Structure 1
């Protein structure tokens, strides 16, 4: 089971790195073409257009719930992951990809929230499972 959980962790990490790459493909050309002045973005984000904000927010979101996912996945690896934990991990990762996709496309708030909330529920189940395993191992 451990290789499948590690694959989920790497897939989640790939999402963050992919979003960062995408953000670079937006930012660098805008600066190079002079559409965005460096002085306007040096200290705050207000100088960026909406498309950049969407991508930037999608990237920033990878350091919220996913941080708890990484910690939980590390604990699961320590205990020896169960098939339930691997399934919950993969479902969580799918919701993060859905959330990011909505964020960088039409940014439909209801759909984005639905993906976020589904991921939150899956993460809560993941942590509950880990807590039960800890209590049972005492």
Structure 2
């Protein structure tokens, strides 16, 4: 049975945007890291068993900032995806919850841009903290809905 075109929960839109942003950060990471590796004389074909910390020692910090942010985008946002799925399934992925989801995405994108370019930790922390508060509000709202 086909699902009607507009029968989705609006909270899935910010979810899709954050996934797209995460993939954009992956592309930016690769576009930055490969030239930095070439410049540092690191041959990709000879690397065996290395990890992110090894790249931190071999590459300039600014080249690594994008990779660090990509890692951050596959950490806490997984909770965002899960709680948005709860809202979508419970029928509460509308109104204030959608606004909160968009606010979370805005804070995460701002966090990404800041970390990938300027990376002053104090500002980055406040952006992370703000997004965490929004995630907490989304979670609290979901708890009210499902209990």
TM over 0.5: yes
Deviation at 1:3, TM superposition (A): 4.7
Q: Deviations over 1:3-44 (max 9, x none)?
A: 53121011101111011000111122234x443413578613
Contact 2:9 2:88 survives alignment (8 Å):
no
Alignment equivalent of 1:77, drawn from 57, 80, 88: 88
Calculate the aligned-residue CA RMSD, in Å: 1.9
Q: How many residues align?
A: 134
- Find the counterpart in structure 2 of residue 22 from structure 1: 28
Q: Secondary structure at the match of 1:4?
A: coil
| Cα deviation 1:82-101 (Å, max 9, x = unaligned) | 31111110000000001001
The residue number in structure 1 matching 2:40 is: 35
Instruction: Answer 1 or 2: which has greater helix percent.
Output: 1
Runs of 4 or more above 4 Å deviation: 39-42
Structure 2 stretches of 5 or more lacking a match? 1-6
How far off is 1:74 after superposition? 0.8
Gaps of 5+ in 1: none
The aligned runs of 1:62-101 (5 Å cut-off) are 62-80=73-91, 81-101=93-113
Match of 1:9 among 15, 30, 37: 15
- Which of 120, 133, 136 pairs up with 2:145? 133
Q: TM-score, normalised by structure 1?
A: 0.88
